[in-house]
Amino acid sequence: METTKILLDDNEIPRQWYNLLADLPNPPLPPLGPDGKPITPDMLAPVFPMNLIEQEVSTERWIDIPDEILQILSLWRPSPLYRARRLEKALGTPARIYYKNEGVSPPGSHKPNTAVPQAWYNKQFGIERLTTETGAGQWGSALAFACSLLGLECKVFMVRISFDQKPFRKLMMQTWGANCVASPSDETQAGRDILAKMPNTPGSLGIAISEAIEQAVTDPTGKTRYSLGSVLNHVMLHQTIIGQEAQKQLAKAGEKKVDAVIGCCGGGSNFAGLAFPFVNDKINGAEIDIIPVEPESCPTMTRAPFAYDHGDTAKMTPLLPMHSLGHSFVPPPIHAGGLRYHGMSPMISQCIVEGLMTPRAYHQLKCYEAAITWARTEGFIPAPETSHAIAAVIDEANKAKEEGKEKVIVFNWSGHGLMDLLGYDAYFQGKLTDYSLPQEEIDKGVEELKDLPKPEVHKTGKW
Amino acid sequence: METTKILLDDNEIPRQWYNLLADLPNPPLPPLGPDGKPITPDMLAPVFPMNLIEQEVSTERWIDIPDEILQILSLWRPSPLYRARRLEKALGTPARIYYKNEGVSPPGSHKPNTAVPQAWYNKQFGIERLTTETGAGQWGSALAFACSLLGLECKVFMVRISFDQKPFRKLMMQTWGANCVASPSDETQAGRDILAKMPNTPGSLGIAISEAIEQAVTDPTGKTRYSLGSVLNHVMLHQTIIGQEAQKQLAKAGEKKVDAVIGCCGGGSNFAGLAFPFVNDKINGAEIDIIPVEPESCPTMTRAPFAYDHGDTAKMTPLLPMHSLGHSFVPPPIHAGGLRYHGMSPMISQCIVEGLMTPRAYHQLKCYEAAITWARTEGFIPAPETSHAIAAVIDEANKAKEEGKEKVIVFNWSGHGLMDLLGYDAYFQGKLTDYSLPQEEIDKGVEELKDLPKPEVHKTGKW
């Protein structure tokens, strides 16, 4: 019998998070406040608890993971590393394809890797209630799960289009005791303002973030904070447990060299989680293609400028140095809701600026096709977001076949698609179409960014 | 850090199935044909391939598992054995609670443990197409998955009430390339007959079985066979991989004695899978409570007679010696669709007759309450079927607390509930009610069984 999956025991779970900020030749520029000056930790205090703000700005290479967090993570971690042998055979590729199965967590994705520590640090800080936004619902259900196990209240603003397309996600949140509403809602000023202008908007992550932040900072008790499932440094940090495990597992599988690291990329967290330990290898001389994959309909990394922009539509967040389609951008309603975000993690944006990562964009029909090939060979049904990674993996494996090269490809299978079957249904019924963002939409975003401060572009030219 | 889960590596997967027929003091009586005489293997040949019929009647204690089957099973097996520490703490029980997480398979339940071997043996026998029925959709999606990986066509008749309540299940089947229709359908004589009499019937497993068998045996090419997801001996056999793994894992956890083995029980397969290796221990002198749990609304084990009855409504199957509510019985539409079956596995029925198992029945509201307690402590959202086992586990753990006893409780977490969230929704909205089957319904079943042959009751009186 050939090995299908490489497991690690509970006691082999990584005990520290890896902080790429300690190793990036040029770390991201600082976030800027409304005055155009770098913000101070104090300015974030109404939004996040100070212990997480400290993580956000830390440049320590290794940060210890508290025991109680490890104990909860061990409900599904270490996650298995699979060898996709059946796909390899179907493609006839000499490549060896490995994937981290992050679908094994209770909410079904990588998101609880950061939801649990975020809830834990908030609780330590005396916070009793968390607010957040969610796109596809992966993040909202992850935070609902984490809050449930740690005894915090949880309020989720879910992007309208996903709220309607994915009714089961809000039921998951409810099962874990959270309160989930469609965004824009009439519960916040930000939501009411948008609804007045665009009553039929499908919503966006940017809008939902505005609503969640508003509810957190306006709570008179001071016991509410906001929690973000992607983009920020501390979120990337928490996810690095994925890549650390993968490296141990690849060593266990006897692999000495990795040629390509792939993941889908919306705000960046699942991709960073797998990729950052490998980025460090690349900084230290390893030859690895590190490939984040996004949808053609929301081409933040491949077509948007590197700029300072707000993380949300109502401009409540500081300005972040990142690839951005503009904070007013409302992505078309494709089924991979988790990839519909106008911005990108500053750390990932900086990696792209440096040339450490080579992003690419795919159309959704190709991704659904890849997802079905996957389900019918490897068995597990992937999330529409994950299918973007799979499409790139298949392309890389076919390239290896053409070149006759025994490449090692590792990717993050970021979540299962069992909550996303209406997207599959639409695909089967031929209702989905591909959509390339017209240049004028990109231009509109650029126009919006025009009057904001411009980030300096730091790049060593080494990669 | 305390251990949360006990893992086995791919190479520790059991290599043989355990056949309890070799050890039962009184094995089940033979199935009878229309003439009241024991059927011969040949009589089953239009329905099942001969290699599976051989397994059905085998009394060999150990049966080797072919390598290709093990290779596919290793996509999710060995499944993790969890210690439910967070539930233990919430209950304040001295009991140690372990569960096999069968929700880790691609379709999300224990069902592929037999779907894969059934598809494989059919393929070996030259069969190209399988038909089956499904209740909650767990079995149909499992067979769809297995057929997809092995390259067989798959046709699923899904009980109407579940087809309507669980739209995502049929999308899973479609993703794996299967064809799923609501039963009763107009594609078979059995379906048309029922629809003529009861156009608004919610359907039943008994009806769907009739339809699936009819399509298999009437295929003029002879390349179609029928596949059953529970009840039969070879199905129980394939599931014993669960209990074998659990025993290895409990030993690894340092447990020397098990006090209670619990599972939900509809046709019997998930329960048998965990329990049969422990039944053998009990036959050999171990003191273990072996507890199958069913719904009060379909009380096959706790209130129906042990009798000879057909497995399906249209009386196409042989007569099986089992607990039965009568083949015309249509269970009320509770949300645990997989537990809505009028009969019970003959092997489990015989264990009950012998006193080796002590069945109990629960109402659905108590089970949903248990499911939510589970989700909010242990994290994973259980299937409504599985919640019946959880309710019994909580009762046993509370009993251990009252008695101050350090009991070891092991149960089968047969599947996740991510496809069943509409049931949770109905529960949250207060739309679900409890339902005890009135005695006249039981009497009607007994009346129907009156003219059929009566099985002898063999029992040693030892348990």
The reported pLDDT for the residue numbered B340 is 85
Q: Of B162, B459, B453, B225, whose CA–CA distance to B324 is shortest? A: B453
Instruction: Check whether residue B188 and residue B104 sit in a common domain.
Output: no
Is A380 at the interface with chain B, CB within 8 A?
A: yes
Note the pTM of the prediction, 2 decimals: 0.96
Testing the interface with A: which of B148, B380, B418 to mutate, by most A Cβ within 10 A? B418
How far off is chain B from A166, nearest CA to CA, in Å?
Answer: 11
Please tell me the least confidently modeled range out of A322-331, B147-156, B202-211, B281-290: B202-211
Interchain contact, B149 vs A86, CB within 8 Å: yes
Same-domain status, A126 and A213: yes
pLDDT at B306 over 80: yes
Altogether, the residues listed in chain B come to a count of: 463
pLDDT digits 0-9 by tens, A275-298: 999 999 999 999 999 999 999 999
Q: B457 in a domain, yes or no?
A: no
User: Distance between CA A305 and CA A349 in Å, rounded?
Assistant: 10
Give the pLDDT score at A336. Answer: 85
B312 and B335 belong to one structural domain: yes
| Closest to A195 measured CA to CA, from A329, A203, A156 | A203
| Dihedral (CA of B7, B75, A262, A73) sign | negative
**What backbone phi and psi angles, to 5 degrees, belong to B107?**
-80, -5
Out of B1-15, B240-254, B328-342, B424-438, which region has the weakest mean confidence (pLDDT)? B328-342
CA angle, corner A387, sides to A385 and A388, nearest 5? 75
Structure tokens at B328: 């015309």
In sequence order, what are the residues at sequence separation of 6 or more whose Cβ sits closer than 8 angstroms to the Cβ of residue B82?
A: A75, B4, B5, B6, B98, B99, B100, B101, B378, B413
Q: How many domains does chain B have?
A: 2
> What is the domain range of residue A120?
20-63+112-226
Kindly state whether residues B358 and B392 are assigned to the same domain.
yes
B136 CB-near residues (< 8 Å, 6+ apart): B162, B166, B169, B336, B337, B338, B383, B384, B385, B420
CA B304 to each of CA A155, B174, B307, B340, B367: distance values in angstroms, whole numbers, following the listed order: 47, 37, 9, 14, 21
The answer to whether the CB of A11 falls within 8 A of the CB of A87 is no
Q: How confident is the model at residue A451 (pLDDT cuts 50, 70, 90)?
A: very high
For B317-326, what is the mean pLDDT? 96
Q: Which two tokens stand for residue B49?
A: 């391939």
- Summarize pLDDT for B28-68 with one digit per residue, the tens: 999 999 899 999 999 999 999 999 999 999 999 999 999 99
Instruction: Please list the residues that pair with B386 across neighbouring strands.
Output: none
- CA atoms of A409 and A288, how far apart (whole Å): 10
B376 touches chain A (CB under 8 A): yes
B430 contacts chain A (CB < 8 A): no
What pLDDT does residue A392 have?
98
Answer yes or no: is pLDDT of A390 > 90.
yes
pLDDT at A457: 95
Q: Does A418 touch chain B (CB under 8 A)?
A: yes
* CB spacing of A174 vs B428 below 8 angstroms: yes
DSSP secondary structure letters along B256-301: ----EEEEE-SSSHHHHHHHHHHHHHHHTT---EEEEEEETTS-HH
pLDDT of residue B136: 78
Q: Is B385 a domain residue? A: yes
In chain B, what residues touch A75 (CB-CB under 8 Å)?
4-5, 82, 378-380
Contact B106 A381 (CB under 8 A): yes
**Cβ separation of A174 and B2 shorter than 8 Å?**
no
In order, the DSSP letters of A436-460 are PPPHHHHHHHHHHHTTSPPPP----
Q: Does residue A133 sit in the same domain as residue A101?
A: no
> Is B9 in Cβ contact with A421 (below 8 Å)?
no
Residue A239: inside a domain: yes
Type of residue at A383: A
Q: Does pLDDT of A165 surpass 80? A: no
What angle, rounded to 10 degrees, do the helices at A421-428 and A364-378 form?
110
pLDDT bucket at A58, cuts 50 / 70 / 90: very high
A424 vs B175, B378, B418: nearest CB: B175
Q: Does residue A98 sit in the same domain as residue A140?
A: no
User: With an 8 Å Cβ cutoff, are B379 and A75 in contact?
Assistant: yes
End-of-domain residue from the set A175, A199, A226: A226
CA distance B126 to B146: 16
Q: pLDDT tens digit string along A92-118? A: 999 999 999 999 999 999 999 999 999
Sheet containing strand B129-134, edge to edge, reads B179-183, B153-159, B129-134, B224-226
Amino acid at A385: E
Q: What is the pLDDT of residue A1?
A: 87
pLDDT band at A167 (very low <50, low <70, confident <90, very high): confident
- In this structure, the answer to whether residues B212 and B237 fall within a common structural domain is no
pLDDT class of A164 with cuts at 50, 70, 90: confident
In this predicted model, which residue has the larger pLDDT, B204 or B231?
Answer: B231
**Residue A205's pLDDT band (cuts 50, 70, 90):** confident
Mean pLDDT of A54-67: 97
Residue A220, domain member (yes or no): yes
- Residue at B453 is within a domain: no
Q: Percent of chain A scored above 90 by pLDDT?
A: 92
- From chain A, the residues in CB contact with B83 under 8 A are none
Domain boundary among A188, A204, A226: A226
- Angstrom distance (rounded) from CA A356 to CA A237: 18
Nearest to B411 by CA among B12, B84, B140, B52: B84
Dihedral sign computed on CA atoms, order A217, A218, A224, A228 = negative
- Decide if B418 touches A, using CB distance below 8 A: yes
On whether any CB of chain A is under 8 Å from the CB of B424, the answer is: yes
Q: Is A278 on the interface with B (CB under 8 A)?
A: no
The reported pLDDT for the residue numbered A301 is 98
Nearest Cβ partner for B421 among A74, A171, A376: A171
- Output the pLDDT for position A206: 82
Say whether B4 and A71 touch across the interface (CB within 8 A). yes
Say if CB A51 and CB A127 are below 8 A apart. no
Taking residues A425-432, report their average pLDDT.
95
Same domain, A323 and A435: yes
Q: Please say if the pLDDT value at position B166 is more than 80.
A: no
For the cut 90, the answer to whether the pLDDT of residue A7 exceeds it is yes
Residue B304 lies in a domain: yes
What is the SS3 assignment for B118? helix
| pLDDT bucket at A334, cuts 50 / 70 / 90 | confident
Residue with tokens 């009980």: B159
Cβ–Cβ below 8 Å for B4 and A171: no
List of chain A residues whose C-beta atoms are within 8 Å of the C-beta of residue B143: none
How large is the average pLDDT for residues B254-263? 98
Residues B278 and B152: beta-carbon distance below 8 Å: no
CB contact under 8 A, B171 and A422: yes
Of B1, B104, B381, nearest to A175 by CB-CB distance is: B381
- Do B418 and A418 make contact, defined as CB atoms within 8 angstroms? yes
Mean residue pLDDT across chain B? 96
**B56 and B75 share one domain:** no
Report, in angstroms and rounded to the nearest whole number, the Rg of chain A calculated over CA atoms: 20
Give the pLDDT band (50/70/90) at residue A313.
Answer: confident
Q: What are phi and psi of B183, to 5 degrees?
A: -120, 135
Is the preceding omega at residue A78 within 30 degrees of 0, hence cis? yes
Look at residue B335 in the predicted model and tell me its pLDDT. 83
Instruction: Give domain status of residue B117, yes or no.
Output: yes
| B428 neighbourhood in chain A, CB within 8 Å | 174
* Residues of A whose CB is below 8 A from B372: 175
DSSP B386-419: HHHHHHHHHHHHHHHHHHT---EEEEEE-BB-TT
Q: Which residues of B touch A418 (CB under 8 A)?
A: 108, 168, 172, 418-419
Q: Which of residues 80-139 of A touch B (CB under 8 A)?
A: 82, 86, 104, 106, 108
| Mutation site for A-interface testing, chosen from B175, B368, B374, B376 by largest number of A Cβ within 10 Å | B175
**B3, B376, B381: residue with CB nearest A172:** B381
Amino acid at B175: T
Both B221 and B247 in a single domain? no
State the pLDDT at residue B333: 78
- Residue A438's pLDDT band, with cuts at 50, 70 and 90, is very high
B1 contacts A71 by C-beta, under 8 angstroms: yes
Looking at the complex, does the CB of residue A149 fall below 8 Å from at least one CB of chain B? Answer: yes
**Residues written for chain A:** 463
**What pLDDT does residue B313 have?**
87
* Alpha-carbon distances of A310 from A233, A313, A341, A354, B49, rounded to whole Å: 15, 7, 12, 22, 64
Contact yes or no for B177 and A376 at CB 8 A: yes
Looking at the fold, whether B278 and B140 belong to one and the same domain comes out as no
Q: Report the pLDDT value the prediction gives residue A226, as an integer from 0 to 100.
A: 97
Q: A86: nearest CA in chain B?
A: B149
| Structure tokens, A326 | 């503009």
pLDDT at B445 over 80: yes
**Which A residues in the span 16-45 are in contact with B, Cβ-Cβ below 8 Å?**
none
Q: Which of A197, A226, A255 is the last residue of a domain?
A: A226
Q: What average pLDDT does this structure show over A54-62?
A: 97
Q: Is B238 helix (H, G, I), strand (E, B) or coil?
A: helix
Do residue A126 and residue A216 come from a single domain?
A: yes
Nearest to B172 among A3, A174, A381 (CB): A381
Q: Find, in chain B, the residue whose alpha carbon is nearest to that of A148.
A: B376
Find out whether A318 and A29 touch, Cβ atoms under 8 Å.
Answer: no
Please indicate, yes or no, if residue A458 is contained in any of the structural domains.
no
Q: Residue B99 belongs to a domain with what CATH number? A: 3.40.50.1100
